[in-house]
Structure 1
Amino acid sequence: MEKPLEADADAVDVAPGAAGVGEVWICGPTLFSGRGNDVEATAEAITADGWFRTDDLAKVDGDGYLTVIDRATDMIVVCSENVYRVEVERVLDGHPAVELATVYGMSDDALGVKAAVVVKQDESLTAAALRRHAAAKLADFKVPSSIEFMARADLPMTGSGKVAKAALKK
Protein backbone atom coordinates (compact mmCIF):
# COMPACT_ATOMS: atom_id res chain seq x y z
CA MET A 1 0.00 0.00 0.00
CA GLU A 2 1.31 3.43 -0.89
CA LYS A 3 1.69 5.80 2.02
CA PRO A 4 2.06 9.56 1.54
CA LEU A 5 4.62 11.42 3.57
CA GLU A 6 4.85 15.15 3.72
CA ALA A 7 8.35 16.44 4.35
CA ASP A 8 9.71 19.93 4.70
CA ALA A 9 12.89 21.17 2.98
CA ASP A 10 15.01 19.33 5.57
CA ALA A 11 13.16 16.01 4.96
CA VAL A 12 11.42 16.28 8.33
CA ASP A 13 7.86 14.97 8.44
CA VAL A 14 5.25 17.74 8.71
CA ALA A 15 2.65 16.77 11.29
CA PRO A 16 -1.06 16.83 10.33
CA GLY A 17 -2.59 20.17 11.26
CA ALA A 18 0.80 21.92 11.34
CA ALA A 19 1.02 25.31 9.67
CA GLY A 20 3.84 24.26 7.36
CA VAL A 21 3.80 23.19 3.75
CA GLY A 22 5.91 20.23 2.69
CA GLU A 23 6.71 18.07 -0.32
CA VAL A 24 4.64 14.92 -0.79
CA TRP A 25 6.69 11.72 -0.82
CA ILE A 26 5.20 8.30 -1.62
CA CYS A 27 6.48 4.78 -1.21
CA GLY A 28 5.02 1.36 -1.96
CA PRO A 29 5.22 -1.79 -4.05
CA THR A 30 3.40 -0.21 -7.00
CA LEU A 31 5.86 2.67 -7.24
CA PHE A 32 7.75 2.85 -10.53
CA SER A 33 11.47 2.06 -10.54
CA GLY A 34 12.71 5.18 -12.28
CA ARG A 35 12.29 7.92 -14.84
CA GLY A 36 12.95 6.02 -18.03
CA ASN A 37 16.64 5.79 -18.75
CA ASP A 38 17.40 9.09 -17.00
CA VAL A 39 19.65 7.97 -14.15
CA GLU A 40 20.21 11.51 -12.87
CA ALA A 41 16.49 12.37 -12.72
CA THR A 42 15.78 9.06 -11.01
CA ALA A 43 18.48 9.69 -8.40
CA GLU A 44 16.99 13.12 -7.67
CA ALA A 45 13.42 11.83 -7.44
CA ILE A 46 13.84 8.59 -5.47
CA THR A 47 15.55 8.54 -2.08
CA ALA A 48 18.00 5.81 -1.07
CA ASP A 49 15.28 4.13 1.01
CA GLY A 50 12.73 4.09 -1.85
CA TRP A 51 10.61 7.21 -1.32
CA PHE A 52 9.51 9.05 -4.48
CA ARG A 53 9.67 12.84 -4.16
CA THR A 54 6.61 13.99 -6.14
CA ASP A 55 7.57 17.68 -6.36
CA ASP A 56 4.03 18.45 -5.10
CA LEU A 57 3.84 20.90 -2.19
CA ALA A 58 0.98 20.23 0.20
CA LYS A 59 -0.35 20.56 3.70
CA VAL A 60 -2.25 18.05 5.82
CA ASP A 61 -5.16 19.32 7.88
CA GLY A 62 -6.05 18.13 11.38
CA ASP A 63 -8.30 15.39 9.93
CA GLY A 64 -5.48 14.00 7.81
CA TYR A 65 -6.70 15.36 4.45
CA LEU A 66 -3.94 16.31 2.03
CA THR A 67 -4.32 19.55 0.04
CA VAL A 68 -1.87 20.13 -2.80
CA ILE A 69 -0.81 23.78 -2.87
CA ASP A 70 1.58 23.96 -5.84
CA ARG A 71 4.54 22.27 -7.52
CA ALA A 72 7.94 22.91 -5.92
CA THR A 73 9.30 23.87 -9.32
CA ASP A 74 6.52 26.47 -9.66
CA MET A 75 7.33 28.21 -6.38
CA ILE A 76 8.94 31.64 -6.62
CA VAL A 77 11.29 32.87 -3.89
CA VAL A 78 11.08 36.63 -3.34
CA CYS A 79 13.44 38.13 -0.76
CA SER A 80 13.65 34.76 1.05
CA GLU A 81 9.84 34.36 1.09
CA ASN A 82 7.96 31.60 -0.73
CA VAL A 83 5.35 32.66 -3.26
CA TYR A 84 3.01 29.99 -4.62
CA ARG A 85 2.07 30.88 -8.20
CA VAL A 86 -1.33 29.25 -7.89
CA GLU A 87 -2.27 31.52 -4.97
CA VAL A 88 -1.38 34.70 -6.88
CA GLU A 89 -3.05 33.46 -10.08
CA ARG A 90 -6.30 32.74 -8.20
CA VAL A 91 -6.36 36.28 -6.81
CA LEU A 92 -5.67 37.86 -10.22
CA ASP A 93 -8.21 35.56 -11.91
CA GLY A 94 -10.74 36.73 -9.31
CA HIS A 95 -10.78 40.25 -10.78
CA PRO A 96 -13.94 40.58 -12.90
CA ALA A 97 -12.05 41.98 -15.92
CA VAL A 98 -9.46 39.18 -16.02
CA GLU A 99 -9.97 36.26 -18.39
CA LEU A 100 -6.68 34.51 -17.56
CA ALA A 101 -3.65 35.32 -15.44
CA THR A 102 -0.39 33.44 -15.28
CA VAL A 103 2.42 34.19 -12.86
CA TYR A 104 6.14 33.54 -13.11
CA GLY A 105 9.35 34.58 -11.39
CA MET A 106 11.65 37.19 -12.82
CA SER A 107 15.30 36.37 -13.49
CA ASP A 108 16.39 38.19 -10.33
CA ASP A 109 14.27 36.76 -7.50
CA ALA A 110 14.73 39.95 -5.51
CA LEU A 111 12.70 41.75 -8.18
CA GLY A 112 9.65 39.68 -7.45
CA VAL A 113 6.66 38.24 -9.19
CA LYS A 114 5.67 38.98 -12.79
CA ALA A 115 2.23 38.35 -14.27
CA ALA A 116 0.96 38.01 -17.81
CA VAL A 117 -2.74 38.84 -17.93
CA VAL A 118 -5.42 38.41 -20.59
CA VAL A 119 -8.29 40.86 -20.11
CA LYS A 120 -11.84 39.89 -21.06
CA GLN A 121 -13.12 41.31 -24.32
CA ASP A 122 -14.73 44.75 -23.93
CA GLU A 123 -13.11 45.24 -20.51
CA SER A 124 -10.42 47.73 -19.56
CA LEU A 125 -7.97 47.31 -16.73
CA THR A 126 -4.77 49.02 -15.68
CA ALA A 127 -1.77 47.43 -14.00
CA ALA A 128 -2.23 49.78 -11.03
CA ALA A 129 -5.86 48.70 -10.56
CA LEU A 130 -4.94 45.02 -10.75
CA ARG A 131 -2.09 45.53 -8.25
CA ARG A 132 -4.55 47.24 -5.85
CA HIS A 133 -6.89 44.26 -6.24
CA ALA A 134 -4.03 41.87 -5.45
CA ALA A 135 -2.73 43.98 -2.54
CA ALA A 136 -6.12 43.73 -0.83
CA LYS A 137 -5.79 39.93 -0.72
CA LEU A 138 -2.04 39.13 -0.70
CA ALA A 139 1.05 39.99 1.31
CA ASP A 140 3.06 42.81 -0.28
CA PHE A 141 5.86 40.52 -1.52
CA LYS A 142 3.30 38.39 -3.42
CA VAL A 143 1.79 41.29 -5.36
CA PRO A 144 3.16 41.27 -8.93
CA SER A 145 5.81 43.94 -9.38
CA SER A 146 5.32 43.77 -13.13
CA ILE A 147 2.12 43.09 -15.09
CA GLU A 148 2.07 42.60 -18.84
CA PHE A 149 -1.26 42.61 -20.66
CA MET A 150 -1.41 40.20 -23.59
CA ALA A 151 -3.87 38.88 -26.14
CA ARG A 152 -4.73 35.25 -25.44
CA ALA A 153 -3.35 34.28 -28.87
CA ASP A 154 0.04 35.74 -27.86
CA LEU A 155 0.40 33.57 -24.74
CA PRO A 156 2.86 30.74 -25.42
CA MET A 157 1.14 27.40 -24.80
CA THR A 158 2.34 23.84 -24.34
CA GLY A 159 1.00 20.92 -26.35
CA SER A 160 -1.30 20.06 -23.43
CA GLY A 161 -2.89 23.53 -23.45
CA LYS A 162 -1.09 25.00 -20.43
CA VAL A 163 0.73 28.32 -20.46
CA ALA A 164 4.43 27.78 -21.22
CA LYS A 165 5.76 29.89 -18.34
CA ALA A 166 9.40 29.25 -19.22
CA ALA A 167 8.80 30.88 -22.62
CA LEU A 168 7.33 33.97 -20.92
CA LYS A 169 10.57 34.53 -19.00
CA LYS A 170 12.54 34.96 -22.23
Structure 2
Amino acid sequence: MRDEVDGLVEAWGKERPDLDVQPLSVLSRISRLARHLDRARRAVFAAHALEPWEFDVLTALRRAGDPYELSPGRLLRATLVTSGTMTNRIDRLAAAGLVERHPDPADKRGVLVRLTGAGLTRVDAAFADLLHREHAILDVMSGTDRETLAGLLRTLLVPFDSGD
Protein backbone atom coordinates (compact mmCIF):
# COMPACT_ATOMS: atom_id res chain seq x y z
CA MET A 1 0.00 0.00 0.00
CA ARG A 2 1.39 3.40 -1.02
CA ASP A 3 0.19 6.94 -0.48
CA GLU A 4 1.21 10.36 -1.72
CA VAL A 5 3.67 10.80 1.12
CA ASP A 6 5.68 7.81 -0.12
CA GLY A 7 6.23 9.65 -3.42
CA LEU A 8 7.09 12.87 -1.63
CA VAL A 9 9.67 11.17 0.59
CA GLU A 10 11.21 9.33 -2.38
CA ALA A 11 11.46 12.54 -4.42
CA TRP A 12 13.12 14.45 -1.60
CA GLY A 13 15.44 11.53 -0.95
CA LYS A 14 16.63 11.71 -4.55
CA GLU A 15 16.83 15.49 -4.67
CA ARG A 16 18.46 15.93 -1.26
CA PRO A 17 20.33 12.71 -0.43
CA ASP A 18 22.39 14.77 2.02
CA LEU A 19 19.36 15.16 4.30
CA ASP A 20 17.54 12.60 6.44
CA VAL A 21 13.97 13.03 5.16
CA GLN A 22 12.54 10.27 7.39
CA PRO A 23 10.54 12.74 9.58
CA LEU A 24 8.43 13.50 6.49
CA SER A 25 7.16 9.93 6.46
CA VAL A 26 5.48 10.52 9.83
CA LEU A 27 4.80 14.22 10.11
CA SER A 28 3.61 14.78 6.54
CA ARG A 29 1.07 12.01 7.07
CA ILE A 30 -0.09 13.61 10.32
CA SER A 31 -0.37 16.98 8.59
CA ARG A 32 -2.31 15.57 5.63
CA LEU A 33 -4.56 13.55 7.92
CA ALA A 34 -5.25 16.67 10.01
CA ARG A 35 -6.46 18.48 6.89
CA HIS A 36 -8.73 15.58 5.93
CA LEU A 37 -10.11 15.37 9.48
CA ASP A 38 -10.70 19.12 9.56
CA ARG A 39 -12.74 18.87 6.36
CA ALA A 40 -14.76 15.94 7.72
CA ARG A 41 -15.42 17.76 11.00
CA ARG A 42 -16.43 20.97 9.24
CA ALA A 43 -18.90 19.00 7.11
CA VAL A 44 -20.49 17.50 10.23
CA PHE A 45 -20.66 20.88 11.96
CA ALA A 46 -22.13 22.55 8.85
CA ALA A 47 -24.87 19.92 8.76
CA HIS A 48 -25.86 21.22 12.20
CA ALA A 49 -25.44 24.90 11.29
CA LEU A 50 -22.34 25.22 13.48
CA GLU A 51 -18.88 26.65 12.95
CA PRO A 52 -15.94 24.80 14.52
CA TRP A 53 -15.50 27.52 17.14
CA GLU A 54 -19.18 27.29 18.06
CA PHE A 55 -18.86 23.54 18.52
CA ASP A 56 -15.79 24.09 20.74
CA VAL A 57 -17.63 26.48 23.07
CA LEU A 58 -20.82 24.44 23.17
CA THR A 59 -18.97 21.19 23.89
CA ALA A 60 -16.97 22.86 26.66
CA LEU A 61 -20.27 23.81 28.28
CA ARG A 62 -21.76 20.36 27.64
CA ARG A 63 -18.77 18.60 29.24
CA ALA A 64 -19.21 20.75 32.36
CA GLY A 65 -22.30 18.71 33.23
CA ASP A 66 -25.73 19.82 34.33
CA PRO A 67 -26.55 22.77 34.44
CA TYR A 68 -24.04 23.09 31.53
CA GLU A 69 -22.54 26.39 32.55
CA LEU A 70 -19.10 27.92 32.99
CA SER A 71 -17.65 31.34 33.63
CA PRO A 72 -16.25 33.13 30.58
CA GLY A 73 -12.78 32.71 32.12
CA ARG A 74 -13.15 28.94 32.33
CA LEU A 75 -14.51 28.89 28.79
CA LEU A 76 -11.54 30.77 27.40
CA ARG A 77 -9.12 28.42 29.17
CA ALA A 78 -11.02 25.43 27.79
CA THR A 79 -10.94 26.79 24.24
CA LEU A 80 -7.54 28.56 24.31
CA VAL A 81 -8.72 31.94 23.04
CA THR A 82 -8.34 35.49 24.32
CA SER A 83 -10.85 37.26 26.53
CA GLY A 84 -12.00 39.56 23.73
CA THR A 85 -12.47 36.64 21.38
CA MET A 86 -14.48 34.73 23.98
CA THR A 87 -16.72 37.72 24.66
CA ASN A 88 -17.45 37.98 20.93
CA ARG A 89 -18.16 34.26 20.71
CA ILE A 90 -20.51 34.30 23.68
CA ASP A 91 -22.33 37.31 22.19
CA ARG A 92 -22.81 35.50 18.89
CA LEU A 93 -23.95 32.25 20.51
CA ALA A 94 -26.37 34.16 22.74
CA ALA A 95 -27.78 36.00 19.71
CA ALA A 96 -28.32 32.60 18.06
CA GLY A 97 -30.19 31.37 21.16
CA LEU A 98 -27.65 28.64 21.94
CA VAL A 99 -26.36 30.08 25.25
CA GLU A 100 -27.54 32.50 27.92
CA ARG A 101 -25.69 34.65 30.42
CA HIS A 102 -26.74 34.45 34.07
CA PRO A 103 -25.44 36.25 37.16
CA ASP A 104 -22.90 34.17 39.07
CA PRO A 105 -24.39 33.58 42.55
CA ALA A 106 -20.88 33.12 43.97
CA ASP A 107 -19.57 36.41 42.49
CA LYS A 108 -21.88 39.41 42.26
CA ARG A 109 -19.74 40.94 39.48
CA GLY A 110 -19.44 37.72 37.51
CA VAL A 111 -21.59 35.94 34.98
CA LEU A 112 -22.03 32.34 33.97
CA VAL A 113 -22.65 31.15 30.45
CA ARG A 114 -25.21 28.35 30.19
CA LEU A 115 -26.40 26.19 27.31
CA THR A 116 -29.99 26.78 26.34
CA GLY A 117 -32.26 23.88 25.48
CA ALA A 118 -31.63 24.62 21.80
CA GLY A 119 -27.88 24.70 22.41
CA LEU A 120 -27.96 21.38 24.24
CA THR A 121 -30.02 19.75 21.49
CA ARG A 122 -27.75 21.07 18.74
CA VAL A 123 -24.46 20.17 20.39
CA ASP A 124 -25.66 16.68 21.34
CA ALA A 125 -26.78 15.98 17.76
CA ALA A 126 -23.56 17.37 16.26
CA PHE A 127 -21.41 15.40 18.70
CA ALA A 128 -23.24 12.15 17.96
CA ASP A 129 -22.82 12.71 14.22
CA LEU A 130 -19.16 13.61 14.68
CA LEU A 131 -18.52 10.38 16.56
CA HIS A 132 -20.34 8.40 13.88
CA ARG A 133 -18.11 9.99 11.22
CA GLU A 134 -14.93 9.44 13.25
CA HIS A 135 -15.81 5.79 13.86
CA ALA A 136 -16.23 5.38 10.10
CA ILE A 137 -12.80 6.94 9.52
CA LEU A 138 -11.18 4.58 12.01
CA ASP A 139 -12.96 1.47 10.76
CA VAL A 140 -9.94 0.68 8.55
CA MET A 141 -7.99 -0.14 11.73
CA SER A 142 -8.38 -2.84 14.34
CA GLY A 143 -9.08 -1.88 17.94
CA THR A 144 -5.53 -2.86 18.88
CA ASP A 145 -4.08 -0.70 16.11
CA ARG A 146 -6.25 2.23 17.25
CA GLU A 147 -4.96 1.91 20.80
CA THR A 148 -1.36 1.67 19.57
CA LEU A 149 -1.78 4.71 17.34
CA ALA A 150 -3.41 6.69 20.15
CA GLY A 151 -0.49 5.89 22.44
CA LEU A 152 2.10 6.84 19.83
CA LEU A 153 0.35 10.11 19.04
CA ARG A 154 0.08 10.86 22.76
CA THR A 155 3.86 10.46 23.01
CA LEU A 156 4.29 13.11 20.31
CA LEU A 157 1.62 15.44 21.69
CA VAL A 158 2.47 15.52 25.41
CA PRO A 159 5.52 17.79 25.05
CA PHE A 160 3.38 20.34 23.18
CA ASP A 161 0.55 20.17 25.71
CA SER A 162 2.91 20.49 28.67
CA GLY A 163 4.54 23.59 27.21
CA ASP A 164 8.00 22.08 26.86
With normalisation by structure 2, the TM-score equals 0.30
> When you count strand as a share of all residues, which structure comes out higher?
1
> When you count helix as a share of all residues, which structure comes out higher?
2
With normalisation by structure 1, the TM-score equals 0.29
Structure ID, larger Rg: 2
